[in-house]
Structure 1
């Protein structure tokens, strides 16, 4: 085996083995209702000791099992997807670092070690987003890194606020310090930090931009690692957050995030960005259900979503590969005839995302929406939930129409084949999990089944909005969305909806453009004014121009010799004529 591929295989075996180990431990912990709290003293000097704390319970073990499974499958998938990559080892090491940072975050009951994992995720995600090293990647990388830095700052502030408690093990203070004023401040900062990492409004613009990363990275980042870190942190802190004012604000913002991402996905034509916006919508769903005080349900949806979203990204990667790196869905169509197995995976993951009964997404989404109907929330939140669910069906159906059902739009079909068995094997593992993980987890996480009694129409509401969304997606795909816009809405409104409610403009150009432009004018008028031209800069310019002329003369070109000979002849002739 080639050395380049051996690291892929070793990493895959190691991660897969860790996943099986985690699964066994998780079953054991769950059956015996165990929690293990480990403290490892790294260094002790006089009265100072540096201690690493580890918390192992069914939740952290189950989450680690899912992360290990997805990362092992992604690395196996990368063996084929990144086969032409010269620095494959660097890529695999970055992915492993990413997984290690996530592990540190999952098992930490200590806010300091959470910061290490949190910062590790931010730093490695920057390295992965700028992996292809072009201008678009650098811009996306900076946007991702700087948005995540805001969350890091809030975590640092939490560390300083917790100085007075005698320990940074936040797990000890969750239950009995609810009404403490410092803890209310800490909880608000934790919510803000989680909002940056999980890309809630107004920090949403980095998530679609992060699609500049290679597709296997997108499959890992947007399913179970980076974006879910904020949700996981809030699940851990949930006892502290209940009944705080900020949680009500988060409920509104996450509902709006879900709605905004659903609308923007319907206007998008980039395949990966549609899936990224779908991730954003699901993150809004997780955060909003957390805001209602149901952490177990948010965790359940987080895990089921991780499976089908990773599969969706993998299918997108295969399609983009075979389309000669075209990501625009308008160039695709009829691909189910040429790559049936990939299309099968794509359709099943799409159906799981929509919550089609008895696939993974159904168990968590249906339960969430029924509990929303059951709770005493106001009408606006109720509408945000149901309209966003309809929009999920809307953009998923539109995607299926453009990819599978519409006519084939590319010039040639010679590169469409479905025999990359390395990619297909990894996709089939996730396909199997996308089908069974929902029912499996619902039996494991909830010791008794949720029985929710609702009126028939309210019970069927999920089916109604899904059907309406699917029909709308079909109509829009046939009519082509922009021609419809001319009749329904003005250009400005469609631009507003298309651009994620102008959020990229507000969070990037709005914050940087005017300051940078002002700086440029200052530099031009003051630093590079007349004094600059009459001193060093002017002399440099003159000498540079002269050296360019001399270098042209010293190139020993035949035409320069001829040119100088003609000039000499003309000079001699001129002198002779004067005499």
Structure 2
């Protein structure tokens, strides 16, 4: 155990230093417009080169610095959160493998090397989701693994389809594509792969299910690594689907995902699932602005979201830890007097999520909404976009109400306090990054100011939906139990509290296909095809072989039978 504590301290220092170096390099590359491309040829087959390639530009370097910075804080945070775990060394090794897979995917411009990092993320995430080794974790891990395998198969088909282009390096020829059927199909495969990893509809069920993992893993997975891998892939391949006509499809999927996750979070009582649904809502926001072609804006929101999302999970981990692993928000209440520092960090991170002015979420989210208002879009999409933004404020204030304002509803003799120095220090450091990270990134990534001119009603729309979201969240949190029973018996609460039944469809629909596929396989491949095919031919040849051997081993008996046969024939003649 002592070795583990020293290992966490060493990893904190090393990862912090490497993160700072990567960030400085990224800023230097950005201001000087540098790109370093490292290439190693493994073999050539049929005029197609298999190359080991690494791409170092400002986008990959800054993203790697954020991944390493958040990972260093979470590993040190895990030192106290997982202190009673007997296999904490295994846990830290899995987290390091997860970080390495993500970094390998970030710096890979080659589809084959991207697939290696992509599969590494899927495999290690499965190992981390089933870490607690119970039935719930196993089911959640299986849903996570099978959902991500769809994206893996799409990447494999993209690799096969790009074989005719002679290379798998996307940035070399992506701007020179003539958009025919082949390119459209590759773009569709890439979009579906990004949808599976970023849990867009209909692949949304694995994201809340992955909350079965330890809270530090959730903080890492849902902020800057696994779920953002799909967004990062679409950022790199943006010209392929924006010019290929798939942007409308991606916009529709992302809008429905934003609306579904925001609405369902207002009916959820599991604290970690509410934060997971908030992550899903922000992923839909990134996907929607990507469909318009604003790559740098989606990347900007990706970085700011990584900061306050990790802080949200770290605060929820402290609260859950103090309440004996209870995650039901109805058991909390009046925590500001007992856990003031944790509640302060949680409220600041929720304000960042809502886009309160001059916090990190404001700089990216308000800019995204302004650019959306500037675009040519229909009224339905505009309403869905702003309504989903209001729902984000709604479930955030509902969660704050259950944590801070409501009466304490746990055991009356249970003592709750801010006692963990290690977890609190990491949370305070992440809070400073969440407050000041947005303005710092806006100065670095957007150094040239652009004027946005909007009518007063469109610009004031953001304030209106935020106020309505605060009112709606307070209204939903004040509903009494008999009102919930009324909603439950009418199926409304059942429908919205279960993500539009997407988890049930994810589990039930494949079951019938697999079951009937097994029956068909049993009756055909193991039945008639086996009898009339290879097994039947084997039995027929075995029978004639035995008959032949019996004839060859009994030549005297055969001669006697032959003489008797001719004697009978001559007798009749």
Contact 1:178–1:240, Cα closer than 8 Å, also in 2: no
1:369 aligns with 2:364: no
Q: CA deviation at 1:381?
A: 1.0
Determine the structure 2 residue equivalent to 1:512: 511
- The alignment partner of 1:449 has SS state of coil
Aligned partners of 2:487, 2:456: CA distance in 1, in Å? Answer: 34
Determine the structure 1 residue equivalent to 2:356: 356
Contact 1:36–1:56, Cα closer than 8 Å, also in 2: yes
Determine the structure 1 residue equivalent to 2:218: 218
Contact 1:339–1:417, Cα closer than 8 Å, also in 2: yes
Q: CA deviation at 1:179?
A: 1.4
Q: CA deviation at 1:293?
A: 1.0
Q: CA deviation at 1:494?
A: 2.4
Q: 1:258 to 1:219 in 2, by over 3 A?
A: same
Q: 1:324 to 1:449 in 2, by over 3 A?
A: same
Aligned partners of 2:518, 2:106: CA distance in 1, in Å? Answer: 43
Determine the structure 2 residue equivalent to 1:496: 495
Determine the structure 2 residue equivalent to 1:31: 31
Q: CA deviation at 1:91?
A: 0.3
Q: CA deviation at 1:521?
A: 14
Contact 1:178–1:184, Cα closer than 8 Å, also in 2: no
Aligned partners of 1:522, 1:169: CA distance in 2, in Å? Answer: 40
Determine the structure 2 residue equivalent to 1:572: none
Determine the structure 1 residue equivalent to 2:200: 200
1:259 aligns with 2:259: yes
Aligned partners of 2:46, 2:509: CA distance in 1, in Å? Answer: 52
Q: 1:413 to 1:451 in 2, by over 3 A?
A: farther
Contact 1:143–1:206, Cα closer than 8 Å, also in 2: yes
Determine the structure 2 residue equivalent to 1:177: 177
Gaps of 5+ in 1: 528-579
Determine the structure 2 residue equivalent to 1:72: 72
Aligned partners of 2:136, 2:352: CA distance in 1, in Å? Answer: 32
Aligned partners of 2:483, 2:59: CA distance in 1, in Å? Answer: 47
Determine the structure 2 residue equivalent to 1:325: 325
- TM-score scaled by length of structure 1: 0.87
Contact 1:300–1:364, Cα closer than 8 Å, also in 2: yes
> RMSD across aligned C-alpha pairs, in angstroms?
2.2
Aligned partners of 1:50, 1:375: CA distance in 2, in Å? Answer: 41
- The alignment partner of 1:173 has SS state of helix
Residue pairs, 1:408-487, within 5 angstroms? 408-480=408-480, 483-485=482-484
Contact 2:48–2:163, Cα closer than 8 Å, also in 1: no
Contact 1:390–1:469, Cα closer than 8 Å, also in 2: yes
Q: CA deviation at 1:4?
A: 2.1
- The alignment partner of 1:436 has SS state of helix
1:103 aligns with 2:103: yes
Residue pairs, 1:135-150, within 5 angstroms? 135-150=135-150
Determine the structure 2 residue equivalent to 1:543: none
Aligned partners of 1:426, 1:392: CA distance in 2, in Å? Answer: 26
Aligned partners of 1:274, 1:48: CA distance in 2, in Å? Answer: 47
Aligned partners of 1:433, 1:449: CA distance in 2, in Å? Answer: 23
Determine the structure 1 residue equivalent to 2:248: 248
Aligned partners of 1:46, 1:275: CA distance in 2, in Å? Answer: 49
Q: CA deviation at 1:243?
A: 3.2
CA deviation vs aligned residue, 1:72-105 (integer Å, no higher than 9, x gap):
0000100000000111110001000000000011
Aligned partners of 1:169, 1:515: CA distance in 2, in Å? Answer: 37
Aligned partners of 2:450, 2:316: CA distance in 1, in Å? Answer: 35
1:59 aligns with 2:56: no
Aligned partners of 1:88, 1:50: CA distance in 2, in Å? Answer: 38
Q: 1:178 to 1:318 in 2, by over 3 A?
A: farther
**Most deviating of 22-31 and 118-127:** 22-31
Determine the structure 2 residue equivalent to 1:18: 18
**Most deviating of 181-190 and 507-516:** 507-516
Determine the structure 2 residue equivalent to 1:573: none
Contact 2:362–2:438, Cα closer than 8 Å, also in 1: yes
Gaps of 5+ in 2: 527-573
Q: CA deviation at 1:238?
A: 0.6
Determine the structure 2 residue equivalent to 1:314: 314
Q: CA deviation at 1:450?
A: 3.1
Q: CA deviation at 1:44?
A: 8.7
- The alignment partner of 2:176 has SS state of coil
Q: 1:54 to 1:132 in 2, by over 3 A?
A: same
- How many residues were matched structurally? 523
Aligned partners of 1:416, 1:121: CA distance in 2, in Å? Answer: 36
- The alignment partner of 1:175 has SS state of helix
Q: CA deviation at 1:520?
A: 9.9
Residue pairs, 1:386-405, within 5 angstroms? 386-405=386-405
Contact 2:187–2:241, Cα closer than 8 Å, also in 1: yes
Contact 1:485–1:491, Cα closer than 8 Å, also in 2: no
Q: CA deviation at 1:415?
A: 3.5
